[in-house]
Structures are given as structure tokens and as C-alpha cells.
């Protein structure tokens, strides 16, 4: 496709300009941590060169060796030709200040629930010490379970997924954060393997892409496990299952927090009797809901 050396690109500044131009020319889609070509190019170049991700300016005019140019060229070509998301190229994804290992066995971490856990789900949970047992349903890479473990330091956490491949990725992340004594990975189809278990808090970022949207997904999303994205014709198969079964797995004062993408209107039409509390996130208050056990049971 191109050769960086033949194009007389010597510095990081040169590479950055070149990468942004090529990304835009190729019409790449950005939705896995970056929102535009510049941020993604900066991330891929700095990561490939083993430079601090938050310190571009000091290195902009640094000249690269031939080996370094070849390494950057390989990453940029793969991003463009294969449409592979950056996180799968670097095997790294970030939620806030937390980095997680990721590969194509698990969906790339991205969740508004991460923002809410940063604040310990206040004001809905006033004392984080009251959360003794928690569940991350559809855990994928284990990222939200790990964030829960940091937010609720007294809690034992079950992290559940139907995919053994995803749980293998989660196992690496749990070990990396030295949380194997508190986070228990369980292979289960939703609540099926959790008979008799009850939790003070259940969180879930389940599959929620409807059939029409699945058919129109950009190529970048097709590198992710389809079972971690698709959830029936209306995108609510997994959410329906959670709403119909969660009450039996919550303690008396237990809370349920679920992310549903852009399905708020469809959910409200389907469950008009449920008094959903919609939680404020950086994207607004239409993406994550909260319900108590009493509300679910009623």
C-alpha cells in the first residue's frame, strides 16, 4: 500500500500527518476508544514506539530508525487494510485510568457503567461497604467486574459469561489486577448457572444490537464476537431475560444496573409498568437504567 521510507517520512510529526491522511482517505470507522483519525493515529504511533500515551509533544520531532518505521508501517497498514480496531492491534483497551488486555475472543471494553462505578454509583449506593456480593453479568473481558472490585472493596464478585473464550481474556485481566481472590469467573448462560445465588448489586452491559443495526455495522465491529453484540430482532432479548429473572438473584435491598444502548424507547414500550431510573452519563441519561429488587418483584 505504501512505504514510509520511500515517502521520506522521518519524524513522529511526519508519521502523524501521514497516518491521519491515510485514515481519512480510507474512510475508517472510529468507535472503539477513539472518535476521529487524529486521536487513533496518535495512540497507534505512540503505543507502537513504546512511548508514553499522554506525552506526544516532546517526541514530535524525534527521528525514527528504519526498524521503528517498519513497525509503525505494519500497524498502520493492518488498521487500514483489515479494518481491525486499534485495541485488537495493540491488545490494549482503556476505561478511564484502567487498562485491560483484549483480543478478538472478547468484545472491546466500552461502557457507560464504568463512569458510574468511578463514583461508586452514588447517590444510589450511599455506603460502598454495604456491597458484600456483586455480579457482573455478560462480563466479556472482565473489565466491569474489575472496576466493581475497586469501587466496592468489601465485595466478592461473580463475573459471568456464556463464552469460555471471553472468560479466558477475563482471567488474564483479573490476574493482572491481582484480584483472583475476589473475582470468581463463571461460565453460564445468563443466570442459568447461578441457582441460589443472591447479590447486593447486579450490573450488566449485555448484547443489545438489533438485527437491522447488526446488518449495517461497519467492518471494524465485525472483528468482535457477534454473540457479544447481537440480541435478537429488537436488541432486547438479553435485557428481557435480565428483567424477568434478576429479582430472584437480588438481596432484599439489591440493585440492578443495565446498559441498553439506544433501546430506551423500545424498552419503555415493552415494560411500561417498570419505574426505571435513568442514570446520567457523559452521553446523557438514556443509556443505563437502575431498578431495585422491590421494583422488579412488583
Q: What is the pTM of this model?
A: 0.93
Cell matching residue 56: 506526544
What would the pLDDT profile of 195-247 be if each residue is shown by its tens digit? Answer: 999 999 999 999 999 999 999 999 999 999 999 999 999 999 999 999 999 99
Kindly tell me if the per-residue pLDDT of 8 is higher than 80.
no
pLDDT, tens digit, 9 for 90 and up, residues 123-177: 999 999 999 999 999 999 999 999 999 999 999 999 999 999 999 999 999 999 9
DSSP 50: T
Cα separation, 204 vs 170, in Å, equals 15
Q: Is residue 41 part of a domain?
A: yes
Predicted local distance difference test score (pLDDT) of residue 2: 61
Band (6; pLDDT cuts 50, 70, 90): low
Q: Is 6 contained in some domain?
A: no
Span 30-54, mean pLDDT? 95
Closest CA to 84 of 180, 278, 224: 224
60 and 127 in a common domain: no
Say if residue 28 is in the same domain as residue 145: no
Instruction: Determine contact, residues 266/277, Cβ cutoff 8 Å.
Output: no
CA distance 8 to 110: 37
Q: What is the pLDDT of residue 33?
A: 85
Is 69 within 8 Å of 12 (Cβ atoms)? Answer: no
For the chain, the domain total comes to 2
Same domain membership, residue 284 and residue 216: yes
Whether 4 is in a domain gets the answer no
Tell whether 69 and 124 lie within a shared domain.
no
Side by side, which strands form the sheet with 156-161? 183-187, 156-161, 133-137, 199-204, 250-259, 288-292, 277-278
Amino acid at each position: 500500500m505504501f512505504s514510509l521510507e520511500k515517502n521520506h517520512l522521518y519524524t513522529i510529526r511526519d508519521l502523524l500527518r501521514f497516518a491521519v491522511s491515510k485514515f481519512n482517505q480510507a474512510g475508517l470507522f472510529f468507535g472503539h476508544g477513539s472518535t476521529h483519525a487524529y486521536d487513533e493515529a496518535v495512540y497507534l504511533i505512540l503505543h507502537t514506539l513504546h512511548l508514553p500515551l499522554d506525552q506526544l509533544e516532546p517526541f514530535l520531532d524525534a527521528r525514527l530508525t528504519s526498524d521503528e518505521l517498519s513497525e509503525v508501517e505494519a500497524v498502520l497498514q493492518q488498521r487500514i487494510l483489515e479494518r481491525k480496531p486499534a485495541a485488537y492491534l495493540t491488545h490494549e483497551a482503556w476505561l478511564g485510568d484502567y487498562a485491560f488486555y483484549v483480543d478478538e475472543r472478547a468484545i472491546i471494553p466500552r461502557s457507560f457503567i464504568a463512569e458510574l462505578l468511578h463514583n461508586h454509583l452514588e447517590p444510589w449506593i450511599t455506603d460502598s461497604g454495604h456491597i458484600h456480593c456483586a455480579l457482573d453479568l455478560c462480563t466479556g473481558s472482565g473489565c466491569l467486574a474489575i472496576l466493581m472490585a475497586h469501587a466496592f472493596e468489601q465485595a466478592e464478585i461473580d463475573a459471568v459469561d456464556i463464552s469460555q473464550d471471553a472468560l479466558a481474556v477475563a482471567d488474564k485481566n483479573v490476574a493482572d489486577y491481582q484480584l483472583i481472590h475476589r473475582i470468581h469467573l463463571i461460565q453460564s448462560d445468563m443466570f442459568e448457572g447461578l441457582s441460589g445465588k443472591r447479590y447486593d448489586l447486579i450490573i450488566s452491559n449485555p448484547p443489545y444490537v438489533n438485527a437491522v443495526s447488526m446488518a449495517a455495522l461497519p467492518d471494524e465491529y465485525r472483528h468482535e464476537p457477534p454473540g457479544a453484540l447481537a440480541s435478537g430482532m429488537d436488541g432486547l432479548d438479553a435485557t428481557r431475560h435480565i428483567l424477568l429473572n434478576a429479582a430472584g438473584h437480588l438481596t432484599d435491598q439489591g440493585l440492578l444496573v443495565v446498559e441498553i444502548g439506544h433501546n430506551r424507547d423500545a424498552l419503555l414500550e415493552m415494560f411500561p409498568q417498570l419505574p426505571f431510573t435513568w442514570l446520567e452519563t457523559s452521553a446523557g441519561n438514556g443509556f443505563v437504567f437502575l431498578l431495585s429488587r422491590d421494583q422488579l418483584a412488583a
